[in-house]
Each structure stands twice: as C-alpha cells, then as structure tokens.
Amino acid sequence: MEIFASTPRLILRELIPADAAGMFELDSDEAVHLYLGNKPVRTIEESREVIQFIRQQYRENGIGRWAVIEKDTNRFVGWAGLKLVKEPTNGHVNYYDLGYRFIKKYWGKGYATECAHACLDYGFNRLRLENIYAMADVKNDASKRVLEKAGFSLDGTFYEDQTMLNWFTISREAWNRSHN
C-alpha cells in the first residue's frame, strides 16, 4: 500500500478494500452529503464499488483520492486528494481537482486544510502541475474557508446540475510564492 503524503497528524495513502467500513460511515451520512447533491450511499457494497472506482483511477490516471488516516489512532477519518477530471466542467477539461470529505466526528479539527496543503505540495512538487482547481457549493462556507486557507483564489461561479458552485484556482507560481 502506497503512502503519498504525511502531515504531522495524518497519513494520506491509497484507498484499499479494507477501507469499506470507513467509507460507508462517511458516505452514508446525510450531513456529509448536504452540499454534494444529498445522495448518501445505502449499503456497504456501494462503498466497496466507490473504492474499486477510485482504484481504477489510480491505474488509468496515476492519481485519485486517498484515504486519510489519523496517525495517533490509525483510524480512517475520510479521504482527500487530487483527481484527474476528463469531462468538461466550467470550461475546463483534463484538469486536476482537489477534493476532500471527512466523517462528521472529525470536522472542525483542521484536517481538511492540512490535507489540502499536503495534496497541493504533491501536485505542484511531485506531479509538477501548473494549476490545480477545486469547487464547492456556494453555500458551503466551511469548504470555502479551507480552500482559501490553502491558497486558492475564488475564480467565479457556475452551475452544475442546477447547483451553483464556486470555482477555485491555484497556480504553481502562487503556491511557490506562499511556500518559499
């Protein structure tokens, strides 16, 4: 199992089939899905399928969302990472999207911001990407704060599936300026 990044409190590693129970706890919670179209999973089998889908992205694209594990407890707390998006979104195609999702009891601990920094470092310094993008429901103030703390700039809004989303951008140049 590959570890992609580590922070003082967290390990970001590949998602594996053994993460199914944690993924189910995460994605079956309606509160977690409030700004995600409110379509929580209903069975652990659906979580297993999500893990297999992400593992396929690793094989096809060399990147995908990663499991986030607390170092102190070795507990699965959610996922974070970069994803290559090949479908058109807000006028972009074949771009790298930063995303994260955490089990509700781990909200408010700064894990999303910690993971965002680790993912951006990986994207800009290991993958040598020029830009990384992110999006969040315009009503999701917590996610907007995470992205701004990570260095993203709000770069407009757009609609997807009748939901208004904020579009965020960060360039390698901006990342390097803030981390040198």
Can you read off the two tokens belonging to residue 72? 């102190």
Could you tell me the pLDDT band of residue 33, with boundaries at 50, 70 and 90? Answer: confident
Q: Please choose, from the candidates 101, 79, 99, 81, the residue with its C-alpha nearest in 3D space to the C-alpha of residue 31.
A: 101
Q: Give residue-wise pLDDT tens across range 6-27.
A: 999 999 999 999 999 999 999 9
According to the model, what pLDDT value does residue 2 have?
Answer: 82
According to the model, what pLDDT value does residue 3 have?
Answer: 85
Cβ density class 83-101: b for 16+ within 10 Å, e for less? bebeeebbeeeebbbbbbb
∠ CA 66-166-24, rounded to 5°: 35
According to the model, what pLDDT value does residue 180 have?
Answer: 67
pTM beyond 0.85: the answer is yes
Q: Give residue-wise pLDDT tens across range 115-144.
A: 999 999 999 999 999 999 999 999 999 999
Side-chain-side CA neighbours of residue 91 (13 Å): 5
Contact 77, 103 (CB under 8 A): yes
Task: Count Cβ atoms below 10 Å from residue 154 Cβ, excluding itself.
Answer: 14
Across all residues in the chain, what is the average pLDDT?
94
Residue type, 156: G
Could you tell me the pLDDT band of residue 34, with boundaries at 50, 70 and 90? Answer: confident
Contact 106, 78 (CB under 8 A): yes
Task: Count Cβ atoms below 10 Å from residue 3 Cβ, excluding itself.
Answer: 12
Q: Please choose, from the candidates 103, 177, 170, the residue with its C-alpha nearest in 3D space to the C-alpha of residue 133.
A: 170
**From the CA atom positions of the chain, what is the Rg in Å?**
15
According to the model, what pLDDT value does residue 84 have?
Answer: 97
